[in-house]
Amino acid sequence: MSLSESKILAIAIAIVGALIATWGSYELHKSNLKYAKSAVQETASVTANAINERFKLYQYGLRSTKSVILTVGENDISRKKFVQYSQVQNIDTEFPGARGFGFIRRVPTDNETAFLLHARADDATDFSIRQLTPNSVERYVIQYVEPAGRNNQAIGLDIGSEPTRRKAADDAMKTGTVQLSGPITLVQATGNPKQSFLILLPIYRADAPLDTEQARVAAAFGWSYAPLLMEEVLADLDIYDGTFDLELIDVTDPTHAVSFFRNLPSTSLQKTDFTNSSKIDLFGRVWVMEFTATPEFIAKLNLLPPETVLAIGSAASIGLGVLFAVVMSNRRNKREAMAQRAELVSIVESSFDAIIGRNLDGVITTWNPGASTLFGYTEEEALGQSFDALLVPPSLQQEELQLQRQLERGIPIQNFETQRLRKDGTHIDVSATASPIRSKTGQIIGSSKTMRDFTDQKEAQKRINEINTHLEALVEERTAKLTDVNFLLTNILRAASEVAIIATNENGVITVFNSGAENLFGYKASEVIRTLHVSRLFAPAELKEYAAKLSANSGADIPHDQALFYEPLKGNPTANDWTQIRKDTTEFAASTVISEIQSENGCHGGFLCVSIDITQQYNFRHQLEAARNQLQMAADIAEMGVWSWELSTDALQWNQHMFKIYGYPESMQDDDVTFEHWRSRIAPDELEDVQKRLFATVEGTGVFDICFNIVTPAGEKRTIQTGANVERNENGTPIRGIGFNRDITDQIRREELLEQARESADRANVAKSN
């Protein structure tokens, strides 16, 4: 070969080499672009799935909280029981990123006061309802949330006072599904505006119909919920290494898109043109995830720059070698990319849940270790087998066919409870989630199913149902007993026609008015129940006087219409005589007992007033006092001593003539004259006989109408005429002796002088006759 030929050949080789290098550089550039786009798409998909699965995890905590509320009971759940339940769970381990789990109760406006009283009695004396904006309709109040330490600011918050929170709660209540709120600012994390969410699950009353939206709204009494802060929810995901910029945007309302999360500040990273935008449908919300690769991401792909290939290819001596090196380098890069892809796939492989892929013919195409653990088949045994034949019980084949048709229409399946077969032939309860798998062109080519062992939850639900059945039986039994007691009490109230029995609510307004009250006051029950305050039945002047007396003793300003309840509210029932007022405004005397009514748990429920007409007793008392006054006047005129003897205490009551007769000062009346004072004045030789006669009168076997002698302090002997009567109770037991004493010493002396004079006259007549 000549020199020129060599030159031509060299030039040709150089030109060919340059052309080959240029072509290789161009092809490598296209390959790099394609691979980078694929890597971005795959990393974005894995990230979106990880975010989706993290949020779906929290629904299990919501269902567990719901089960506790239903097991304990709508009105029996307490702070102590809720804390005990929360201590069983390790929220940070089982539900990473969740701030806690709690219970939100529906509180009608007309029941707010009663709810606050109950909540404060439930180990929360400072409990109050707080609102973010004024809310005049039904409150949705956070009653419990644990751990309470990092959620204290939320307890008592009315989420219904803020539109975004209220809409999520209403949507959950109306649909019966888990719902996620729009982006909000948690009151316990105000430093992160519009970066948080509430996830809610409605709680309905047991056995209530739920087939319509209206029925579900009527049956709901609250929600289990969890507050979520995005930076905490995604804290342990591998999204903070600076290789990509991740932005999450809520586009549920397309006209009002809200960006609520960014993994790194937008100004801190350089970006590339490699982006991916994907949509996430999650519990009623639609999110868009904007994924943008950074130069660091591209650098980690270890792609060979096309300029290098061009430079190396320009060298004629090593053109083919460079081209070969480029090809080999490109292959090596692809292997490294495959390794990186395998690392991402390992996230799925390490899942405890069974994740199974199948094509449209029902043939299993992927089988992770979680599936082997759950069903007992190895990957080699399962791949290529029919999903339906291997795992679906014969009785559920039709159900599986319907689910597959739904997936083929592009409709995902969430939290579907069913049964599957294990390798050993046993059935296992599972909670399944399924999504369609699409090709690059968007065509559905199969489906992916995630299944979790639901046996323990199923058993727990079965136990809950058994407990509910038992509780229903207890409620029916108690209702029957209460019906019997109510029937008995009603008959008692009706039968007490001479006794007024009146019950009031906690404010003193009459709620029960028996037939005795109708007879005594002249009102019909329908005229006063829930309309008349019980204080209207009492004389106003006496109430004011009583209120003034209580105010003076207590140092408090007590209104006269509340004076009746002051002592009963302190646990001291009152029994007083009052002047009470009939419907026709006439007055009568009554003896009234007032006490507090309390519920089984000690809550104040009102007051009970029992009144008896004592007008006749008052009249009799006045007549008795008049008679005693007349007797006292007669005794004073006759200088007669009058005494009464209380047998139970030995105390004596003497009038002034008794003190004069027995030589005691009248001042002793204030020191309680006793039986011993009277006994000590009787002549010793007559004491025994006088006592026998007195005690015989008390026992009812004799009459005390004798004369006896006493000895005064001056040693003078006086003769006393006495008479007595004994008062007895309805059982015939003696309770009081009443009698008189009259000093007849002077009378006896006059009679003796008259007798002596008569005898002297008789002797004189005899002497005269003789």
Cα 744-750-751 angle, rounded to 5 deg = 85
31-87 per-position pLDDT tens digit: 888 888 888 889 889 999 999 999 999 999 999 999 999 999 999 999 999 999 888
b vs e for 316-343, b when ≥16 Cβ sit within 10 Å of the residue's Cβ? Answer: beebeebbeebeebbeebeeebeebeee
Of the candidates 200, 214, 216, 192, the one whose C-alpha atom is nearest the C-alpha of residue 285 is 200
Residue 181 has pLDDT above 90, yes or no: yes
Of the candidates 280, 436, 345, 447, the one whose C-alpha atom is nearest the C-alpha of residue 43 is 345
Of the candidates 621, 624, 635, the one whose C-alpha atom is nearest the C-alpha of residue 723 is 635
How far apart (Å, rounded) are the C-alpha atoms in residues 578 and 620? 17
Confidence category of residue 485, pLDDT binned at 50, 70, 90: low
Confidence category of residue 511, pLDDT binned at 50, 70, 90: very high
Report CA-CA distances (Å) from 275 to 194, 243, 245, 339, 763: 25, 12, 9, 22, 161
Q: Are 155 and 148 a contacting pair, CB within 8 Å?
A: yes
The DSSP H or E segment spanning 704 is none
Take residue 332 and report the two structure tokens written for it: 């090596």
Report CA-CA distances (Å) from 284 to 52, 72, 161, 250, 524: 13, 29, 21, 11, 58
Using left for φ > 0, alpha for ψ between -120 and 50, and beta otherwise, residue 164 falls in alpha
Take residue 63 and report the two structure tokens written for it: 């269902």
Tokens 């053109």 found at: 319
> Domains of the chain by range and CATH?
16-49+238-347 (no CATH), 73-233 (3.30.450.350), 351-453 (3.30.450.20), 496-613 (3.30.450.20), 623-752 (3.30.450.20)
Confidence category of residue 467, pLDDT binned at 50, 70, 90: confident
Output the pLDDT for position 323.
Answer: 53
- The residues pairing with 724 across neighbouring beta strands, listed in sequence order, are 739
Take residue 647 and report the two structure tokens written for it: 């047998």
Confidence category of residue 561, pLDDT binned at 50, 70, 90: confident
What share of the chain has pLDDT > 90, as a percent? 42
Residue 186 has pLDDT above 80, yes or no: yes
Cis peptide before 227 (omega within 30 of 0): no
Other Cβ atoms closer than 10 A to 248: 21
- Residue 25 makes CB contacts below 8 A (sequence gap 6+) with 306, 307, 309, 310, 313
Take residue 509 and report the two structure tokens written for it: 């307004």
Of the candidates 299, 293, 301, 307, the one whose C-alpha atom is nearest the C-alpha of residue 335 is 301
713-752 per-position pLDDT tens digit: 888 899 999 999 888 887 888 988 999 899 999 889 888 8
The DSSP H or E segment spanning 355 is strand 354-359
Of the candidates 340, 464, 337, 449, the one whose C-alpha atom is nearest the C-alpha of residue 390 is 449
625-650 per-position pLDDT tens digit: 665 666 666 666 667 888 888 888 87
